[in-house]
A and B are shown apart, each in its own frame.
Chain A
Amino acid sequence: MKRILFSICLLVGLASASMAQSAQYEGAMTKQVAMLDDSTNFTPDRLLEIANTFERIGAAEKSQWLPFYYAGYCYVMSTFMQKDNDKVDDLADKAAVNIEQAEAISPKNDEINCIKSLIATSRIRVDPMNRGMKYGMESANLLVQANQINQENPRVYMLQGQSLFYTPEQFGGSKTEAKKKFEVALQKFSSFKPASGIAPHWGEAYTKGLLAQIK
């Protein structure tokens, strides 16, 4: 009897420990993801700090894709804020390492494809003449795959619109086509329900911002 009681207590103890771990995960992630909803954190230094935290969470958890996903997101976003072209490839490499870890945990994930597409886009600017074709195609193909996985993901339309928006018309860009994409994206955003509070949900305000520039 005592032995049974002991076993139960032991189980309870272990369970409370693992629950604490999971609560810690939710808590830490919620706090960090909330930081990404705050635009004042979008500076290279702050993003690196937040990425570092996500990397720590990812390294401790090992089986969660979101920390790696967000670390990748932070790094790729910071490439767009870099003034120095020389740093872009290193940051994009770092983003790629994280997103590959996320993909190993969660393969065929449309959100992960979105980040991979952004990474490809970020590399173009280092050498547009030589890289434009290769990475532009890669970026577009990743979005096509993302769309095949989940047609309701608004970020796919947003990124497709963004690429049309920023590509010069000579190279196939179009503001009117971009506008159509942004409108679809906003429609999808309005019906999009993130799987949880910490699941990817960024982009709506950004889409509105770009759309406002067209109008």
Chain B
Amino acid sequence: MKHLNLILLTMLLPVCMMGQQRISGKITDGKKRPLQGVNVSIKDSYDGATSAADGSYSFTTDAKGTQYITATLLGFTTQEQKIFITGPQEINIVMRNNVNDLKVVTISAGSFEASDEGKTTVLKPLDIVTTAGAGADIVNALKTLPGTQQTNDREGLFVRGGTGYETQTFIDGMMVRNPFFSGLPDQPGRGRFSPFLFKGTTFSSGGYSAQYGQGLSSALILESTDLPQRSSYTLGASVIGVSGGLEELMKDKKGSYGVEADYTNLGPYLGVVKPKYAFSKDPEIIGTSANFRRKTSSTGMIKFYGYYNQTNMGTIRPSLEYPGFDELFELKNKNVYTNLTYKESLGHDWKLNAGFSFSSNSDDLNLDTLKKSNPLHGKNVSQLTQTRLVLTKGLGQYSVLRFGGEYQYGVEKSNFGGWQANYVDNYTAGFVESDIYFTPRLLGRVGGRAEYTSILAKANFAPRASLAYRLTGNSQLSLAYGDFYQKPEQQYLRFKNDLGFTKATHYIASYQLVAKNYTLRVEAFYKKYHDLVKTGIDTSTTGTGYAKGIEVFWRDKKTFKNTDYWISYSYLDTRRNYLNYPFEVQPDFAAKHTVSVVYKYYIPAITTNLGVTYSFSTGRPYYNPNLPESKFMSEKTMTYNSVGLSASYLTSIRKAFTIFVLSVSNAPNIKQVYGYRYSTDKLRRQEIVPNMPRFIYIGMFMNFGIDRRQDVINNM
């Protein structure tokens, strides 16, 4: 009988479960506002309901006894409560916003990142290409960001009172010795590398990671693209040249290779638009590159990029020194750049990045005061071989420890009119750095970098630290501090190696608000320079200086339909005593106020992008030798104004993606004077002005997808 009861009980068990109870209640957020659409349920059962607009829910359940009730809603942390069901029950649930858990703070002081990956990045890679007046040049586009100077008469990116030499470029972690095309005097120097090569661009205007060194002011960190989505051919034609390329994704989709070639000749363009100074040899560039990428495992990847380029050009300009005569300047440049990297996850949260790079650059110069002196030949050759190894260990959910080392072997050769000045340098560096999340809102980065260079026979140690704290929602505060060392420029080291490292110490405080459609950044900095190069009777590293300022960046993609614009303002107060300066003054490459406005408008109906970029900066000091020494650098040039325009029209010709581009730099042809150069007798001076103040570029690019499987399916 006892058994029979048990049997009955067993058979009736499912039936017993049918006794239903009603569960109801209200769901609210932390501020007691009702939440709609919450999925409320008894865990591991079908029973549940979705809350209504007033937050109420109600459902019946067969479950009895101890159960768990769960509530889930997008953007909120899932809530789970233990309940005991005996009869009808009312259960009210308060849900917490999970923004704090999902969006962890990141280091942002001093850095602007352009990447597709992070949702909160300030720029996208495409923004660099579509900035009007930048001519698809990375550095030109970065000149619309705060912290940069409109120093367009010299090579390099001038950041926060630093010279172009103080900005170092890195590709996949490795330093690039010659990131710019060798150019003629008074020219800005265009970047060698196309923005399309990179999936991520980080521009640091100070306080950057201990992974990088040898840049007193700034680091431009470029990360190359991974495998392409598909195979394709590209063709380009413009008023200054042609280009073609092929990129093939391997059949197994685990590798790709590509080759590219381009030819540029300014001759035809110069036949129509006359430059200020005539060219003795119209600029001609022949370039070619090859790449190979291969996944070595699900997490491993090997990448190779190789580049060869040669440039040939020359100008004739009236001689400042010898009135009535002409000065000839001719340049032949050859540049090779290679970069081989390997990355792999080693398990147990360990990651490895290794790299090898070789580059060689040679500049052949020919200087001549025509019909007066004998020509002077010069040749500069620089070669850089380097290896780098970085290990990263994940610590817990977000924190990481990074350490590694690099070795560079540099050869610098110079021959001027038979005078040789060569040197070789062995540079070794090691670094360790850790990103520590004290909480998801509070991040600290602490690290240091030690360097030794054989040419100076000196070592240094540079501590670096940053702190970022997330305030409410999308805003955060960051602080950064660091010491930065750099070898003196090659032109001084060639003649004297008994020098020290030049040094800068950065202090940065920044506030950043990054929402989906707008960004606001305000940053203040103070930079102290020590041991800058001083020339004169003897070259030494005893110069001093400082730079301080405030910068504002505002970007808005939402207020105006189809419109995206950003505004950058930089205030810079800087003085330095270096080179032949008699005392600390505002240097001739720095302007006090700089403003850039970038405006982009998209017209969907005709798939056309329009862009306008306006840049302004106050006058820069120049040296007038006719004034007493106490007035050194006291005179300033006119203000700088530039308006760049661009229009790009996207269409397809047959099966090819086609873009037509029209781009005009300095469209209104506003006069720009960067400074003055005086003759030795101080009687004559020449304005330093752009040789082609307005440049009109018209081009087209075609991209043919050659995904054959897609064709096969289309024909089915």
A residues near B (Cβ < 8 Å) are: 2, 5-6, 9-10, 12-14, 16-17, 20, 24, 28, 45, 48-49, 52-53, 55-57, 59-60, 86, 89-91, 94, 127, 129-130, 133-134, 137-138, 140-141, 144, 147, 160, 168-172, 177, 184
Contacts of B116 in A (CB 8 A): 130, 134
Query: Does residue B699 face the partner (Cβ distance < 8 Å to A)?
Result: no
- Min distance, Cβ B7 to any Cβ of chain A, angstroms: 4
Known: A56-B39, A134-B229. Is A6-B48 also a contact (CB below 8 A)?
Answer: no
Contacts of B7 in A (CB 8 A): 5-6, 9-10
Known: A49-B50, A60-B44. Is A171-B657 also a contact (CB below 8 A)?
Answer: yes
CA distance A177 to B279 in the complex (A): 53
Query: Contact: B74 with A56, CB < 8 Å?
Result: no
Q: How large, as a class, is the contact surface on chain B?
A: 35 or more
Contacts of B44 in A (CB 8 A): 59-60
Query: Contact: A90 with B657, CB < 8 Å?
Result: no
Query: Does residue B655 face the partner (Cβ distance < 8 Å to A)?
Result: yes
Q: CB-nearest residue of chain B relative to A75?
A: B74
CA distance A55 to B46 in the complex (A): 9
Q: Which of A5, A13, A24, A130 contacts B46 (CB 8 A)?
A: A24
- Min distance, Cβ B706 to any Cβ of chain A, angstroms: 13
A-B contact count (CB 8 A): 96
- Min distance, Cβ B557 to any Cβ of chain A, angstroms: 9
Query: Contact: B652 with A171, CB < 8 Å?
Result: yes
Interface string of B363-391 (1 = CB under 8 A from A): 00000000000000000000000000000
Interface string of B72-98 (1 = CB under 8 A from A): 101100000000000000000000000
Query: Contact: B126 with A130, CB < 8 Å?
Result: yes
Contacts of B710 in A (CB 8 A): 140, 144
Q: Which of B43, B119, B652 contacts A169 (CB 8 A)?
A: B652
The residue among B45, B46, B710 with the most chain A CB atoms within 10 A of its own CB is B46
Query: Contact: B11 with A13, CB < 8 Å?
Result: yes
CA distance A10 to B12 in the complex (A): 11
Query: 21 interchain pairs (CB within 8 A)?
Result: A5-B3, A5-B7, A6-B3, A13-B14, A16-B11, A24-B46, A49-B50, A53-B48, A55-B72, A59-B43, A60-B46, A90-B75, A94-B74, A130-B125, A137-B229, A137-B230, A140-B710, A170-B650, A171-B652, A177-B714, A184-B716
Interface of B is mostly: mixed
Q: CB-nearest residue of chain B relative to A58?
A: B46
CA distance A213 to B81 in the complex (A): 51
The residue among B6, B14, B47, B714 with the most chain A CB atoms within 10 A of its own CB is B14
Contacts of A130 in B (CB 8 A): 116, 124-126
CA distance A200 to B559 in the complex (A): 42
Query: Contact: A90 with B11, CB < 8 Å?
Result: no
Query: Contact: A52 with B11, CB < 8 Å?
Result: no
Contacts of B46 in A (CB 8 A): 24, 28, 53, 56-57, 60
Known: A59-B41, A60-B46, A144-B710. Is A17-B652 also a contact (CB below 8 A)?
Answer: no
Query: Does residue B607 face the partner (Cβ distance < 8 Å to A)?
Result: yes
Q: CB-nearest residue of chain B relative to A160?
A: B713
Query: Contact: A17 with B14, CB < 8 Å?
Result: yes
- Min distance, Cβ A13 to any Cβ of chain B, angstroms: 4
Q: Which of A16, A53, A60, A94 contacts B14 (CB 8 A)?
A: A16
Known: A13-B11, A56-B45, A59-B43. Is A129-B652 also a contact (CB below 8 A)?
Answer: no
Query: Does residue B679 face the partner (Cβ distance < 8 Å to A)?
Result: no
Q: CB-nearest residue of chain A relative to B703?
A: A133
Query: Contact: A129 with B229, CB < 8 Å?
Result: no
Contacts of B45 in A (CB 8 A): 56, 60
Query: Contact: B37 with A48, CB < 8 Å?
Result: yes
CA distance A89 to B517 in the complex (A): 14
CA distance A23 to B116 in the complex (A): 47
Query: Does residue B516 face the partner (Cβ distance < 8 Å to A)?
Result: yes
CA distance A170 to B3 in the complex (A): 79
Contacts of B125 in A (CB 8 A): 130
Known: A2-B3, A6-B3. Is A56-B41 also a contact (CB below 8 A)?
Answer: yes
Q: Which of B47, B607, B714 contacts A170 (CB 8 A)?
A: B607
- Min distance, Cβ A38 to any Cβ of chain B, angstroms: 17
CA distance A133 to B10 in the complex (A): 61
Q: CB-nearest residue of chain A relative to B658?
A: A170
Interface string of B633-667 (1 = CB under 8 A from A): 00000000000000000111001010000000000
Query: Contact: B657 with A172, CB < 8 Å?
Result: yes
CA distance A56 to B45 in the complex (A): 7
CA distance A68 to B77 in the complex (A): 20
Query: Does residue B602 face the partner (Cβ distance < 8 Å to A)?
Result: yes
